[in-house]
Amino acid sequence: MGAKILGPGDTITVTKEVYALLPGALQECFERAGTVAGAVTYRTTGLNWRQAPRLAAALGVHFTPEKLKKQTETYRDALPLADMEVSGAQELIDLDRLSERQSKKISAVALYADLDGFTRYVQAAEHDEDVVSLVRVLHMIRTEFHAVVNQDYPGVGLVLQHQGDRLLAIVQMPPGDRLDQRCANGLKIAIGMQSSMEHALNEHLQERQDIHVAVGLDVGTVLVTRLGKKGQREVICLGPRVTTAEALQLCSAGQEIRISETIYNTIDHETLKHQFRTDGRGAYVAKRLTFPRLDELEATAAARAGGLAATTTGQRIRIELPSRPWATAGVSPKPWYAG
C-alpha cells in the first residue's frame, strides 16, 4: 500500500490508519486526499523541520542543519568521484558485479508490473492461514513473472526489484541503436505477463479471481547500480524514464498495459498497434491484451482480408492461420500455444 499511495514530489502521504496514530500537532499538517485501493489517505506538502520549527518544538525534535550537512559531507567524501566508473554495456548486465563504484548507463525499456487486487486480500487477512495462503499465491505469481522474463525471453531483460506485490524489470537487449526491437521485446514481456495472469495463474487462485496485473512501460537512458553496506546491497535503477514507467503503472488498472508515446511509435505490428488507444494524457493503453486475444484478432483480420487457407482431408476441413512471428518468436511454449 505504501507504494500505491505515493504522491507527487515534496509530499508525504499516509493511510487513515497511520493518520489516526499521529499526534495532534502533526495531524493539523495533513489534509484528506483520495482513496487508493479502498484505503482513505491523507497528504501534506512541503513539510520539513526547517520550514516548521514550531512543529519540531512541539514534537521535541532538535533539528540541526549544520550537523546534518557535515554528516552528509562525510558520506560524500567516502566515495570520491575519481573512484566511480560508469560504463555502457553491449551484453546483459551482470548484476552481481555492480557496486557504487561500478555502474552501468544504458538504453533500456523500464517495466513496472503491479498486482491489482492483491492488496485488498492482504488488508482482509485476519488469520495466519490466510496470510500463509497469500504468501504462497505471491510466490507463485512472482515465480511465473520471472519465468516470462528469464525463460520466455532469455538474454533480453532483467528483473531488478520486488516492491511488495510490484515488480521492476528492464529490457536491455538488443543494445545500440535498435530501439524498436528493445521496445518490441518489452511489449512481448508485458503481454506475456498478462497472458500468464489471465490464462494460467488465475486457474490456481481459487476464490481470488479478481487479481490482475497492471503494467507500465517507457524507454530511455537508465543508470543501473547497487547500493548498500556490509553485503546488504540492492539493485537500483535510476532515470526519468524509470519514473515515467512507474507513473504509467500507477495510473493503470488491472488487465491494462500503458506505454509511452515513444514506445507506441515504434510498433510496426498493425493488429497490435490498434489495441492501444490514447489515454488523453500523452500515453497509450491497451485493455485485456494477451497473446491468445492477439491471435484471435489476427485470425479475424486475416479472415476479413481473405488470408485464411483451408484444406480438406476426407470429410474434415482444416483451417490454416497465418504465421504469427511477432508473438511467438523466441518464446517458450505456453498453454495458449497448444497448437
What per-residue string of b and e applies to 111-129 under the rule 16 or more CB within 10 Å gives b? bbbbbbbbbbbbeeeeeee
C-alpha grid cell, residue 122: 492482504
Claim: this prediction has a pTM higher than 0.75: yes
Contact 110, 219 (CB under 8 A): yes
Confidence at residue 308, expressed as pLDDT on a 0 to 100 scale: 57
Contacts (Cβ under 8 Å, ≥6 apart) of 329: none
Sign of CA dihedral 223, 228, 230, 233: negative
pLDDT at 332 over 60: no
In the block, cell 489515454 appears at: 279
3-state DSSP call for residue 110? strand
For the segment 244-282, what is each residue's pLDDT rounded down to a tens digit?
999 999 999 999 999 999 999 999 999 999 999 999 999
Percent of the chain with pLDDT over 90: 61
Q: Mean pLDDT in the chain?
A: 87
Confidence at residue 88, expressed as pLDDT on a 0 to 100 scale: 94
Measure Cα distances from 45 to 41, 57, 68, 256, 321 in Å. Answer: 13, 19, 22, 30, 57
Rounded to an integer, what distance in angstroms lies between the CA atom of residue 143 and that of residue 36? Answer: 27
Helices (H), the chain: 16-21, 24-27, 53-58, 65-77, 118-124, 128-147, 179-199, 240-250, 261-266, 270-273, 291-304, 325-328
The radius of gyration of the chain's CA atoms, rounded to the nearest angstrom, is 24
Q: Look at strands 39-45 and 102-116 and give their pairing.
A: unpaired
* Mean pLDDT to the nearest integer, 62-67: 91
C-alpha grid cell, residue 166: 510490484
Contact 80, 183 (CB under 8 A): no
For the segment 179-236, what is each residue's pLDDT rounded down to a tens digit?
999 999 999 999 999 999 998 887 777 666 688 999 999 999 999 999 887 667 899 9
Rounded to an integer, what distance in angstroms lies between the CA atom of residue 224 and that of residue 334? Answer: 31
Confidence at residue 130, expressed as pLDDT on a 0 to 100 scale: 74
Contacts (Cβ under 8 Å, ≥6 apart) of 152: 189, 192, 330, 331, 332, 334
Confidence at residue 226, expressed as pLDDT on a 0 to 100 scale: 92
Question: What dotted CATH number matches 83-295?
Answer: 3.30.70.1230
- For residue 337, name the pLDDT band (cuts at 50, 70, 90): very low
* Mean pLDDT to the nearest integer, 43-61: 93
Higher pLDDT, 169 or 329: 169
C-alpha grid cell, residue 112: 513496472
Rounded to an integer, what distance in angstroms lies between the CA atom of residue 148 and that of residue 77? Answer: 42
Contacts (Cβ under 8 Å, ≥6 apart) of 272: 187, 294, 326
For the segment 70-95, what is each residue's pLDDT rounded down to a tens digit?
999 998 898 888 888 999 999 999 99
Confidence at residue 261, expressed as pLDDT on a 0 to 100 scale: 97
Rounded to an integer, what distance in angstroms lies between the CA atom of residue 190 and that of residue 119? Answer: 21
pLDDT at 177 over 80: yes
Confidence at residue 58, expressed as pLDDT on a 0 to 100 scale: 93
* Mean pLDDT to the nearest integer, 99-104: 92
* Mean pLDDT to the nearest integer, 123-138: 77
Residue-range domain boundaries for the chain: 11-80, 83-295
pLDDT at 8 over 90: no
Measure Cα distances from 263 to 217, 241, 269 in Å. Answer: 8, 11, 12
- For residue 313, name the pLDDT band (cuts at 50, 70, 90): low
Confidence at residue 231, expressed as pLDDT on a 0 to 100 scale: 61
In the block, cell 485501493 appears at: 37
Contact 222, 106 (CB under 8 A): yes
Confidence at residue 310, expressed as pLDDT on a 0 to 100 scale: 59
pLDDT at 330 over 50: no
